Amino acid sequence: MPNAFNFSASPFDSLSKAEQNEVRDNVDIAYFRRGEVILDVGDKPRHLYVIIKGRVVQLDGEDMLHVYGPDDTFDGRGLVAGKASHRFQAQEEVVAYELAEETVLSLIASNATFSALLFSKLGDKLTALSQRQDQQEMQSLTLSRLEEALLHAPHYVDADTDIAAIARMFDKERISHVLVRDTSGTLPRLGIFSSTALPKAIIDGRPLDDLPVGDLATYNLITLPPNALMGDALAKMLRHRIHRIVVAEGDTVHGVVESLDVFSFLSNHSHLILTRIDQADSLEALEGAAGQTTRMVQQLYRSGTNVGLIGDLVQEVNARLFERTWEMIAPTELVKNSCLIVMGSEGRGEQLLKTDQDNGLILRDDYTPPANLQDICDRFSAELERFGYPECAGKIMLNNPDWRGTVSEWSERTRTWMIQGSPENLMNLAIFLDAHAVTGDERLLDRVRDRLWELATDNEATLSRFASAIDAFGSGSNWLSRVFALGDSGELLHMKKLGIFPIVHGIRSLALANRIKATSTVERIHALVQMGKLKQSWGDNLINSLHIFMGMRLKVGLQELEAGKPVSGHVDVSEISSLERDLLKDSLGIVKRFKATLHQRFRLDVM
């Protein structure tokens, strides 16, 4: 066969060199005319087909299930099962590789990843991909450079500074080390003193306010340049049994990287940003930390981190950032007598890139807020916008009086949203149901939510109106085949409309019906499974599908940001890999079946 076989396409990219040679020795090329049936229902496949040119449609009766294009494979499942379950027909002239049945079965037996990616269910495919990514992740992270980490700014002291003053500095500045300048000798030298050396100072016997730090500092510093690899830093720390490396170019010190920083970087980068947020003493310092979140997401995504974990880490970082910002702007009494909430994707922990602000404020009923409350809220919203979180087009922000108020006012507001049931009211209700407490008295949010459940869960008509929003972006029967028609139409898929929203809102509706307190979609699914309201297999499929949609949206969003474009949420199917198309097809099929289940549960077809 020709040497042009594309081993970079899934599932063949999982093959070893020997397995690739086995493929080369057992493959032929076939030609099919337009309209020719390649496999029909009940046929026993003798080959696995890999398309070189043209398109093949998969049909169930007259319904088009999928369109296969160049580098796509079919029918692996039929080959393993011994018969084809659908008809495969050439939509135009097709040239394809035919890989012999015996070879395919041999590869399936010897290579679990190839097997999973070829014909397994969605969860098995993702497990195989995860195992492959885990093998690559540590290598990717250790090849990151020190300048990508958040270095600790250098704090200098003179060698004759006493240890008592150093200890006070550690406490005030929230630091764990200082760089010591010693100019007493012929040549000046630079050393380091850390909090781990304080016990040595205590047992020295001299009074701490009489003991110069220069006597206990370490002067044989281990240094690396900013462009050194993270793996080099880790190796030096282990080799020299040290916990800190000074990052410097010549005489210019850029900062200090600690072992905790390196290990945190290799596990998750959020710890470094959280440390900077906690140590910030001004809004300007918080702005610097906020500027690191997109880079954190980029690094986590490049390293193969699970998209659900990325969402959790982003939520944690944003919550801490919002909390510190609010505490710097709002009076202490206001913070104590209110609950700052975030909503929407931020509240669910599913916001991966910075999007519009969705926040609000719940006040205690018997509390009188300061007269300048509006000014305080305006400043908070303005600071978040300065940090890179745009103003919400729908004004769902606490500087809008409609999104702040007392517990009683919020209870009446959400009750109105529920009873009136207009599309706008129900969307507001959906946004609020994802509310997550950031800081203040979380019990205030619980009281509003509890009163809402009392009204909602006993009214099936209300629940049905609420759940009906799953069809807000259409539910035509031919959408699955239409979006996979890989022609030259340039049609784009909106991941939120087609995939994310139906899952999120469908699960949100089931959570409301069953009084589930969790706000994240994954936690809600786990709770529904535990209550017996959702089968485990269905729960797994929905979580996997949600993460596929989120991952593809993130991938394109990062590409758009790097190109200086606004994040659109659109994916061009013609530009994604054959594996991604396969995963997307499976996921969209799961969404279609899930919506059918919701139609039955909430009687949406008889509304």
Read off the pLDDT of residues 438-478 as tens digits, 9 standing for 90 and up: 999 999 999 999 888 877 656 788 888 899 989 877 654 45
**Which tokens hold the place of 2?**
């020709």
Q: How far apart are CA 318 and CA 312, in angstroms?
A: 10
Between CA 266 and CA 141 the distance in angstroms is: 6
Q: For position 379, what pLDDT does the model report? A: 97
**Which residue spans of the chain are classified as CATH 2.60.120.10?**
12-119
Per-residue pLDDT band for 484 (boundaries 50, 70, 90) equals low
Q: Which of 149, 147, 354, 130 is nearest to 268 (CA)?
A: 149
For the stretch 247-258, pLDDT in tens is: 998 889 999 988
CA distance 81 to 89: 19
Q: What is the pLDDT of residues 78-98, one digit of tens each?
A: 887 788 888 999 999 999 999
Across the range 51-68, mean pLDDT stands at: 84
pLDDT at position 488 over 60: no
Please name the residue ranges forming H helices in 52-100. 76-81
Asked whether residue 235 carries a pLDDT value surpassing 80, the answer given is no
Percent of the chain residues topping a pLDDT of 70: 88
Return d(Cα 584, Cα 122) in angstroms, integer: 10
| pLDDT number for residue 526 | 92
Please say if the pLDDT value at position 202 is more than 80: yes
- Determine the length of the chain: 607
Question: What's the mean pLDDT in 322-348?
Answer: 95
What span, in angstroms and rounded, lies between the C-alpha atoms of 101 and 26? 9
The pLDDT confidence band at residue 216, using thresholds 50, 70 and 90, is: very high
Q: Which of 188, 179, 183, 181 is nearest to 155 (CA)?
A: 179
More confident residue, 83 or 237: 83
Task: Say which CATH class 12-119 falls into.
Answer: mainly beta
pLDDT in tens, 11-53: 888 899 999 999 999 999 999 999 999 999 999 999 999 999 9
C-beta of residue 346 within 8 angstroms of C-beta of residue 560: no
Q: Residue 1: its pLDDT value, please? A: 46
Closest CA to 569 of 580, 560, 581: 560
Higher pLDDT, 569 or 169: 169
As annotated, the residues of the chain forming the CATH 3.30.460.10 domain(s) are 283-456
35-53 burial by CB neighbour count: b if 16+ within 10 A, else e?
eeebbeeeeebebbbbbbe
Our CA dihedral for 297, 302, 304, 305, rounded to 10 degrees, sits at -10
Q: In this predicted structure, which of 59-68, 104-113, 153-162 has the lowest mean pLDDT?
A: 59-68
Q: Give the residues across from 74 on adjacent strands.
A: 49
Rounded mean pLDDT, 97-101: 93
Q: Give yes or no for residue 599 having a pLDDT over 60.
A: yes
Distance in angstroms (rounded) separating the CA atoms of residues 391 and 592:
34
Average pLDDT, the chain: 85
Position with higher pLDDT, 419 vs 362:
362
Nearest to 339, CA basis, from 290, 396, 405, 288 = 405
Look at residues 323, 333, 264 and name the one whose alpha carbon lies nearest to residue 299. Answer: 264
Q: Residue 489 pLDDT > 70, yes or no?
A: no
Residue 2 has pLDDT above 80, yes or no: no
* Positions of E strands within 300-375: 338-342, 359-363
pLDDT band at 480 (very low <50, low <70, confident <90, very high): low
pLDDT of residue 422: 86
Per-residue pLDDT tens digits for 538-563:
999 999 899 999 999 998 999 888 88
Residues near 275 by Cβ (< 8 Å), separated by ≥ 6?
150
CA distance 489 to 544: 29
| 12 burial via Cβ count (<10 Å: 0-12, 13-18, 19+) | buried
Query: Is the pLDDT assigned to residue 483 strictly greater than 70?
Result: no
Stretch(es) of the chain classified as CATH 1.20.120:
472-606
Q: Which residue has the higher pLDDT, 264 or 75?
A: 75
Residue 605: count other Cβ atoms within 10 Å of its Cβ: 8
Domain 472-606: give its CATH code.
1.20.120
The rounded Cα 148 to chain-centroid distance in angstroms is 20
Give dist(CA 526, CA 554) in Å, integer: 24
266 pLDDT higher than 90: no
Which tokens belong to 321? 């950032």
The letter for the amino acid at 146 is L
Residue whose tokens read 């580098």: 71
Q: Would you state the torsion angle of the CA atoms of residues 283, 289, 290, 293, taken in this order, to the nearest 10 degrees?
A: -170
Tell me which CATH homologous superfamily contains domain 283-456: Beta Polymerase, domain 2 (3.30.460.10)
Tokens of 211: 């003991």
pTM over 0.75: no
Of the candidate ranges 268-272, 284-288, 395-399, the one whose mean pLDDT is the lowest: 268-272
Nearest in space to 28 (alpha carbons), one of 139, 103, 137: 103
